[in-house]
């Protein structure tokens, strides 16, 4: 994924426009993160013994161009996931270098993991918004916010309903993080038609068709299932 304010610039090398590398299961070295015993021993506390790695990525927040596109709006990760129950899903988010408010650390709203999934859509930002950076439209702006200052190797684990986001990167360097969403193999897929997740499903399907042809949502679900990787225990539902 490329930053919207950098992607079409002819003056910036293409590798410096990259915001995220996804589908880490395609890279043996990067995917090792998802099977680290140091990570899985905590993941198991949330998912139980049968653990699937569903979505892994390296986040490369670039120096902001002044348009504030390096921000990530406040959101709940469950918005992107068509599987349940949410209490058997957890994100591991590991700093690859020092992270603070200057380079865009995580901002979280403690206790919001107890809320239901809220409607998401693109925020109305003047400088533009990166692809699929949906945000919550109606969260309480006065809710206490905590900024997570982290050192290289620090890892935070959080629930998919926790409201979180990150500010812009005001430094000249890239802010790198590696993360993975883990789920219990006992989870199951749901149909998001008619729910607040229908908008992201449509966008994912449209994007996937650009790469994989005229695929319907059933074919894409089968594709997603084939990409999920068992990292510990036995594969059951997923």
Tell me the per-residue pLDDT of 15-51, one tens digit each, with 9 for 90 and over: 677 888 888 888 999 999 999 999 999 999 999 999 9
Sign of the alpha-carbon dihedral angle for 187, 208, 125, 59? positive
- Tell which residue, 177, 209, 193, 167, has the closest CA to residue 93: 177
Determine the 3-state secondary structure of 227 from DSSP: helix
Tell me the per-residue pLDDT of 79-90, one tens digit each, with 9 for 90 and over: 999 999 999 999
pTM: 0.89
DSSP code per residue over 78-130: GGG--EE-GGGEEEEEEESS-B-TTTT-EEE-TTGGGSPPPPEE----TT---
Phi, psi for residue 210 in degrees, rounded to 5: -65, -30
Task: Give, as one character, the DSSP assignment of residue 104.
Answer: T
Q: What is the CA radius of gyration of the chain?
A: 17
At residue 13 the predicted structure's pLDDT band, cuts being 50, 70 and 90, is low
Residue found under tokens 């590696």 = 178
């Amino acid at each position: 994924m490329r930053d919207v304010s950098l992607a079409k610039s002819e003056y910036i090398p293409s590798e410096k426009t990259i915001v995220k590398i996804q589908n880490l299961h395609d890279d043996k070295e990067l995917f090792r993160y998802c099977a680290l015993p140091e990570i899985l021993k905590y993941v198991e506390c949330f998912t139980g013994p049968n653990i699937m790695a569903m979505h892994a990525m390296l986040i490369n927040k670039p120096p902001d161009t002044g348009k504030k596109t390096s921000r990530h709006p406040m959101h709940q990760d469950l918005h992107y996931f068509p599987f349940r129950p949410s209490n058997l899903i957890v994100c591991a988010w590991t700093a690859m270098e020092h992270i603070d408010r200057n380079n865009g650390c995580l901002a979280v709203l403690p206790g919001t993991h107890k809320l239901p999934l809220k409607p998401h859509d693109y925020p109305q930002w003047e400088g533009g918004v990166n692809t699929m950076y949906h945000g919550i439209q109606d969260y309480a702006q006065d809710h206490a916010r905590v900024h997570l200052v982290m050192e290289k190797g620090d890892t935070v684990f959080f629930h998919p309903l926790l409201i979180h986001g990150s500010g812009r990167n005001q430094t000249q360097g890239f802010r790198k993080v590696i993360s993975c969403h883990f789920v219990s193999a006992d989870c199951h897929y749901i149909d998001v038609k008619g729910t607040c997740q229908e908008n992201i499903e449509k966008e994912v399907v449209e994007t996937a068709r650009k790469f994989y042809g005229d695929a319907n949502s059933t074919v894409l679900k089968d594709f997603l299932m084939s990409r999920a990787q068992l990292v510990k225990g036995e594969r059951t539902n997923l």
